[in-house]
Chain A
Amino acid sequence: MRQRTRSTLYRIRPESLQADMNEKVGVPYSLVRQSAKHRNLQFYDSFEWHAWKKKSAVCKRGSTLSIVSLKTGKEQASSPMRKSPSNFFASDIADDAVRQHLDSFTPLRAFIRLCRAEEQVDQYRILDDNRKTVGHLEITTLTLREKNRKDYTESFLTLTPLRGYRTDSEHVAEALQKAGLLSGTTSFSYIYNQLLKAAGISPGSYRSKPSVRLSPDEPVRESARKLLLATFRIMLANEPWLSRNIDTEFLHDYRVALRRTRSILAQLKGIFPPEELSRFKQQFRELAKRTNNLRDQDVYLLEADHFGSLLPAPLREPLGLFFDDLQHAHTQELRALSRHLRTRQHAELLHTWESFLTEPCQASGEDTPNAALPTSTVAVGTIRKAWKKVIRHGRTIGPEASDEDLHSLRIDCKKLRYLLEFFSSIFPKETIGPVITHLKKLQDLLGKFVDLSVQQDYLHHRITSPGAHSQQLPATLAASLGGLVTALYHERETVRQRFHDTFRQFDSHHTATLFSALIDHYSS
């Protein structure tokens, strides 16, 4: 690669914008005005800040989409983009370099517009006494353009020396600083952060996993309330986005938060009044049920390419009809869910749940015997129980590893996983980290198995019963679906064959030692 010179950004004093720069650049330099550009800017990132976490900004400047490094301020890749969508996916971008960058941030989540701004750039060439260009000088004024937000403006000066002329550019900077036009250096990342701040956005604020620091000695009911509240915030963060159907992960995170909530309610026994507990459990179960079909449909739509690749070319095309029907059903299902989320009944649930978690609760009585136990005691007790259950259950699974066995083992694993994650903050990272890693390997296999089973069943059902708006299943589509069922069947059986090996690795002396260390952590 050819060496590129690095630009330096300087903050300009507002009053300096009126000054005649040409008089201030110092002997023997002079400025030649090049061009002035006025462009609209839009910044994008995923809901989970994938680009920001990789120290990058996704920026549409004029009609160019570019990836900018927040560390260096340099453009990593760019491509023309005419439209200014409110959101888009990595796969929507035709240019290879830009798409690969976006894909490395997240292939799954949509890039959503964060804010709009305008920039006015005045460009100059810096000449020396030979009238040789030694660098470029740019004056940029950035203005936030968001409704209901105060106008925010930031001006800065960019000096970019040509190769071999860094000293000249330094001389110019010194002269401008001496003349009092500049006030120190700045950076792209600082300006970007200021702009977001002015737009009322704090980068990196959303996390799909609740991060709460628990204290081992605190009564477990307090810890549980904190965890449930953090999980509830995740639900609330995702809920307004569900009906907009921008990407599949809003629903996914929403469902995971729901499942975590239900799991903790089910597993931490004797800490909440049973009556209220069973009412909430019931209501959350119903809410989760309303999202089940939607998630399944999301998964099929995400797998569309994979499904196609499982079939020989002549059987691929008829699948279009299948996905059309699925899309149609998805729209209807989403409409129903959105309607439910707007009901008074749902608002009531959110309200009472939040009060339940935040208002001081009644002192522990007969119906909540464990409420005052230390968090560490309950953590160790429940984790031990859940772990033993996984091991005991896994060992009884015979060589044939039936569907039912694997299904229910998967649920046991999930329960254990949620407990480990909930209580992870009271255990040393080096103890709990490897435990989760080992469990995850087993879960990945079981998850794959169950997904493949569910998909097979669904497709089989689709062959034997009419679809959403096609009365009779065309023979070609039936053939394609039949082909898919076969392919998925073979895929699932390969996964099944791997079960015993994977379980043996989990049920090893090594993992047992790890779990014992975890469980014994508070016993000394």
Chain B
Amino acid sequence: MKTIALYSIKGGVGKTATAVNLSYLASHAFPPVLLCDLDPQGASTYYFRIVADKKHNSTKFLKGSKKIYKHIKATDFEELDLLPADFSYRNLDIELGEEKKPEKKLRRSLGDLSTEYEYIFFDCPPNLTLLSESIFTASDLILVPLIPTTLSLRTYEQLLWFFRENNLDSRKIKPFFTMVEKRKGMHRDITQEHTGKGGFLESAIPYNSEVEKMGLYRAPLNAVHPNTPAARAYADLWQEVLRLT
């Protein structure tokens, strides 16, 4: 089993769109795949038309895979399952704080799931907390989507700093650009300067209004419009990720 986290300190950078499309692509290449929606806003869950069970909450999530099992739901795509987000996930940090080794708790909670799925994706909440740390420890790869702006790059620096402070393995972090608009000079300059260098991935996702429409048709872009520029870019990104795992 391989675990991949989609993480960003900043919201609105196309993190969830990437998680949804990559997990969909992975489910075709290495079935079956589980997408864990850990972001209390539940955008991944919404994209798959799923509503979480009422009894699903953070305490149960931390009790491990037996409890997790019950809440996993099939998406409309055969080899892709989803662990729905729940509003109560906002308390995961508090719960984790009461654990003895919070940073390792998530890995242990996943337990048996590791034999069931080939790939597990985490769609992470946009903040830096105990939960984030737990996710970083549990993941083989941490994909960080960045809009090519100076502000965005700063958040990436902050993340690297956090890893150094907490003795985490920063080699897992793989940033890549999203929502790239070629006509903007700043976007052009920043992507040219960083792409493929200093840990940055080669693939970049262009700005595409189709990605925004995912909220309307509520399905992965790669399932509905696989030939749009953004969908092709996700496919390239998946190939690159595959080489890294």
B118 to chain A: closest residue by CB: A2
CA distance A387 to B117 in the complex (A): 61
Residues in B with CB closer than 8 Å to A163 are: 72-74, 81
Indicate whether B50 reaches chain A with its CB closer than 8 angstroms: yes
Q: Which of B35-91 touch A at CB < 8 Å? A: 48-51, 53, 69-74, 76, 81
Select which of A2, A3, A132 is within 8 A of B48 by beta carbon: A132
Asked if B189 CB lies within 8 Å of chain A CBs, one says: no
In the complex, which of the residues B70, B76, B117 has the most CB atoms of chain A within 10 Å of its own CB atom? B76
Contact of A165 among B48, B74, B117 (CB under 8 A): B74
Residue contact B74 to A1, C-beta cutoff 8 Å:
no
Q: Verify A3–B116 contact, CB threshold 8 A.
A: yes
Q: How far is the CB of A60 from chain B (nearest CB, A)?
A: 24
Which residues on B sit within 8 Å (CB–CB) of A165? 73-74
22 interchain pairs, CB-CB under 8 A:
A1-B115, A1-B116, A2-B81, A2-B116, A2-B117, A3-B69, A130-B49, A131-B49, A132-B48, A132-B49, A132-B51, A132-B76, A162-B73, A162-B74, A163-B72, A163-B73, A163-B81, A164-B70, A164-B72, A164-B73, A164-B74, A165-B74
Considering only CB atoms and an 8 Å cut-off, how many residues of chain A contact the other chain? 12
Does B102 touch A at the CB level, under 8 Å? no
Residues of A within 8 A of B69 (CB): 3
User: How would you classify the secondary structure of chain A's contact residues: helix, strand, loop or mixed?
Assistant: loop
Main secondary structure of the interface of B (DSSP, over half): loop
Q: Enumerate chain B residues within 8 angstroms of A130, measured Cβ to Cβ.
A: 49-51, 218
CB of B126 closer than 8 Å to a CB of A: no
Judge whether A164 and B71 touch: CB under 8 Å. yes
Q: In the bound complex, how far is the Cα of B31 from the Cα of A161, in angstroms? A: 19
Residue A177 lies at the interface, judged by CB distance under 8 Å to chain B: no
A1-26 residues with Cβ-Cβ distance < 8 A to B are 1-3, 5
Chain B residues, Cβ within 8 Å of A132: 48-51, 76
Which chain A residues border B51 with CB–CB below 8 Å? 130, 132
| Residues of A contacting B117 in the complex (Cβ-Cβ under 8 angstroms) | 2
Interchain CA distance A3-B79 in the complex, whole Å: 11
Q: How many residues of B contact A (CB 8 A)?
A: 18
C-alpha spacing A132/B48, complex, angstroms = 8
A502 at the interface (CB under 8 A from B): no
Give the distance in Å from the alpha carbon of A99 to the alpha carbon of B1 in the complex: 29
| Chain B residues whose CB sits within 8 angstroms of the CB of A3 once the complex forms | 69, 116
5 closest A-B pairs by CB: A164-B73, A132-B49, A162-B74, A163-B74, A130-B49
Flag whether B32 is at the interface (Cβ < 8 A). yes
A2-B32, A164-B73 provided; 12 other pairs, C-beta below 8 A?
Answer: A2-B117, A3-B116, A5-B74, A130-B218, A131-B49, A132-B48, A132-B51, A163-B72, A164-B53, A164-B70, A164-B72, A165-B73
Least distance between B86 CB and chain A CB atoms (Å): 13
A106 within 8 A of B: no
Q: Which residues of A contact B53 (CB under 8 A)?
A: 164
Residue A194 lies at the interface, judged by CB distance under 8 Å to chain B:
no
CB-CB nearest in chain A for B84: A164
Q: Residues of A contacting B71 with CB < 8 Å? A: 164
Give the shortest distance, in Å, between A28 (CB) and chain B (any CB).
12
How close is A31's CB to chain B, nearest CB, in angstroms? 15
Q: In the complex, how many angstroms separate the beta carbon of A129 from the nearest chain B beta carbon?
A: 9
Which residues of the other chain, B, contact A189 by a CB distance below 8 angstroms?
A: none
Instruction: Tell me, rounded to whole Å, the shortest Cβ–Cβ distance linking B46 to chain A.
Output: 9
Q: Is A408 an interface residue (CB 8 A)?
A: no
**Which residue of the partner chain B has the closest CB to A125?**
B76
Write the chain B residue with the least CB distance to A162. Answer: B74
Within 8 Å by CB of A133, from B70, B76, B115, lies: B76
Cα(A403)–Cα(B239), bound, Å = 71
List A contacts of B116 (CB < 8 A). Answer: 1-3
Q: How far is the CA of A133 from the CA of B70 in the complex (A)?
A: 18
Cα of A130 to Cα of B69 in the assembled complex, Å = 23
